[in-house]
Each structure stands twice: as structure tokens, then as C-alpha cells.
Amino acid sequence: MNQTTPPKINDLDYYMALPYTIELTPDEDGFWFAEIPLLEGCFTNGTDWNDALEMIQDAKRAWLTTALAMGLLIPEPPQGKP
């Protein structure tokens, strides 16, 4: 009998630790817009740069939690060159 190993399922901590690129953009109202382009629809804003960085971590956790619960494919950032 030939058995195959099922693919490894990564957990929330695994994905939270990955180095996703975060784009921060100031807007004309003085707020900062933050997004993780690789995670479609993962964005937020904050009252300042630091607040936006904190808020994007919350948005990333919510995005990943939902994707894991729904069994969606989660893109990972590209690996650096060896």
C-alpha cells in the first residue's frame, strides 16, 4: 500500500511571523494608510505612522484567521536569495 503524506498545514503563528511587506502611505487628512499587498484586502489606517503599523498587525491577524478558517490558500512572501 502506497501512502502519501498530507501537505503540512501551517498555523496562525507561522503566518504571523512571516515578513510580509507593509506599505504605509500618508493621506491628506493626516492619517496613515497601511496595507499588505500580498494579502488582498488586508488594509487599515491609523492616526499616525506607529498607529497604522499596530493596526495592520490586527488586520493581518484577522485576515489570516479568516483565511485559515475558510481553508483558503494563503500567499507567502518570497524567500530571500540564498
79 within some domain: no
Percentage of the chain surpassing pLDDT 90? 83
81 within some domain: no
As a whole number of angstroms, the distance between CA 80 and CA 64 comes to: 22
More confident residue, 50 or 2: 50
57 within some domain: yes
Cα separations (Å) of 42 from 3, 8, 60?
38, 24, 6
24 within some domain: yes
Number of domains present in the structure of the chain: 1
pLDDT 10s digits, 13-40: 999 999 999 999 999 999 999 999 999 9
At 9 the pLDDT is 66
Domain with 66, as residue range(s), is 12-70
CATH assignment at residue 24: 3.30.160.250
Strand ranges (E), the chain: 23-26, 32-35, 43-46
Burial 56-82 (b: 16+ CB within 10 A, else e): beebbeebbeebbeeeeeeeeeeeeee
